[in-house]
Amino acid sequence: MAWADRRRKWASGPIDAAARVRAGLRGDRPAAAGHGTRAGSRARREDDTARVTGRKEGGVAVSLFWRIFALNAVVLGSATALLLWAPVTVSVPVVLTEAIILVAGLVVMLIANAALLRIGLSPLERLTRLMTTVDLLRPGQRLPEHGRGETAELISTFNAMLDRLEHERASSSARALLAQEDERRRIAQELHDEVGQSMTAVLLGLKRAADDADEPLRGELHQAQEITRESLDEVRRLVRRLRPGVLEDLGLISALTSLTTEFATHTGLHVVRRFDTGLPALDQETELVLYRVAQEALTNAARHADAGRVEVGLSPGDGVVVLAVVDDGRGTGVAREGAGIRGMRERALLIGAALDVTSRPATGTHVRLTVPVPRKQP
């Protein structure tokens, strides 16, 4: 079988066949910032608050209604004062000079009113700009909630909405992915028990028939045996991908080694493994997420990258474990958010991990999953 055909068969495996249930939003959790930046971040948040609410700490909050009322009162009061004290009269009928003065006064009043309204509504404009900086793909971002008045209430309501939205999305994603894993196990079990055993029986029957047959029928039966044997091997491969028994029995490193070996065999790509020893203990859910992300990244490399070499690394860091999958294929310059990347992001969210996918024409595609690991208590 040609390598291109094998790559297509690998890329069309059960990862895409399984139904993906999606939440309304997608995202990943950014890596935790260092402690040294917290004071500066807090100061920036307070400055943003002062700009949004239009007041400094200890100032008096004025509602938006009274701000607009006061601005219009200033404009109308100024116009009234000009009419009272300006040496301008209006005759009937209005002459051209008086009409020009009236129109000019109206224009000046409209410009002044627009300028004052812009000043009065500027807190809402700044709030809108701050809201657009909240990336829904990166949960945990919130607007500062200091200050009083309608703007501060709007900020508080917006943050509460984000809290509920992220909680619901995380819960629904967890339920969907749990159901997906259960469905994978059920399908793998049925393939093994029903299809696998039936094909084994067919293979044995073909062997008995070939032993008793004469030429040229014997040759045709041997050919049917080979086709059946290849199909049985394919079913077993699908079962292993649907339900990684090696992960449950031997652990993450052995499972990734088996995955990359099988990937190299079926695609013809050169795979380099860099698995560091001394990894911290990981729970079953975290190991499964790491395995599935590596599996999906390899599938994308076989399908889209047109690569000749793939490097898979797993290493510990300062309170984290980092999985990296790098290929030397044709990067696109922009990592397109397809179903595969969205699935990886949803899995990363379940364990509070950060997924970073970059694709550049010169360096290929880099997939990096940073998983936080609880520190051991001294």
How is the chain split into domains, by residue range? 35-171, 246-378
> What is the pLDDT at residue 336?
62
> What is the pLDDT at residue 4?
57
- The conformation of residue 4, written as its DSSP 8-state character, comes to H
Ranking 13-22, 57-66, 142-151, 168-177 by mean pLDDT, the lowest is: 13-22
Summarize the confidence of residues 262-272 as an average pLDDT: 88
Query: What confidence tens digit (pLDDT) does each residue in 275-316 have?
Result: 988 888 888 888 889 998 998 999 888 887 778 889 999 999
Per-residue pLDDT band at 225 (split at 50, 70, 90): confident
State the average pLDDT for the chain: 75
Summarize the confidence of residues 69-93 as an average pLDDT: 73
> What is the pLDDT at residue 90?
65
> What is the pLDDT at residue 50?
46
Per-residue pLDDT band at 251 (split at 50, 70, 90): confident
pTM, to two decimals: 0.58
The larger pLDDT score, comparing residue 194 to residue 377, is at 194
- For residue 374, is the peptide bond before it cis, meaning its omega torsion is within 30 degrees of 0? no
Is the pLDDT score of 21 beyond 50?
A: no
Share of the chain above pLDDT 70, in %: 74
Query: What confidence tens digit (pLDDT) does each residue in 113-142 have?
Result: 788 777 767 767 777 777 777 766 566 777
Neighbour-count burial of 263, counting CB atoms closer than 10 A to its CB (0-12 exposed, 13-18 middle, 19+ buried): buried
Query: What confidence tens digit (pLDDT) does each residue in 169-215 have?
Result: 777 777 777 787 778 778 878 887 788 888 888 888 888 888 888 87
Summarize the confidence of residues 250-266 as an average pLDDT: 89
Per-residue pLDDT band at 61 (split at 50, 70, 90): low
Per-residue pLDDT band at 35 (split at 50, 70, 90): very low
Q: What is the CATH number that goes with domain 246-378?
A: 3.30.565.10
Neighbour-count burial of 297, counting CB atoms closer than 10 A to its CB (0-12 exposed, 13-18 middle, 19+ buried): buried
The alpha helices in 133-251, defined as continuous H runs, are: 150-190, 197-212, 217-242, 245-250
Summarize the confidence of residues 208-233 as an average pLDDT: 85
Q: Are strands 320-327 and 354-360 parallel, antiparallel or unpaired?
A: unpaired
Tally helices (H) and strands (E) across the chain: 12, 5
CA-based nearest residue to 256, from 291, 231, 227, 287: 291
> What is the pLDDT at residue 136?
61
Q: How far apart are the first and last CA of the chain?
A: 56
The larger pLDDT score, comparing residue 134 to residue 47, is at 134
| Cα distance between residue 160 and residue 166, in whole Å | 10
The residue count for the chain: 378
> What is the pLDDT at residue 290?
92
> What is the pLDDT at residue 15?
42
What 62-65 contacts at long range (C-beta under 8 Å, 24+ apart), as own/partner pairs, is 62/149, 63/149, 63/150, 64/120, 64/121, 64/123, 64/124, 64/149, 64/150, 64/151
> What is the pLDDT at residue 5?
58
> What is the pLDDT at residue 28?
42
Is the pLDDT score of 355 beyond 80?
A: yes
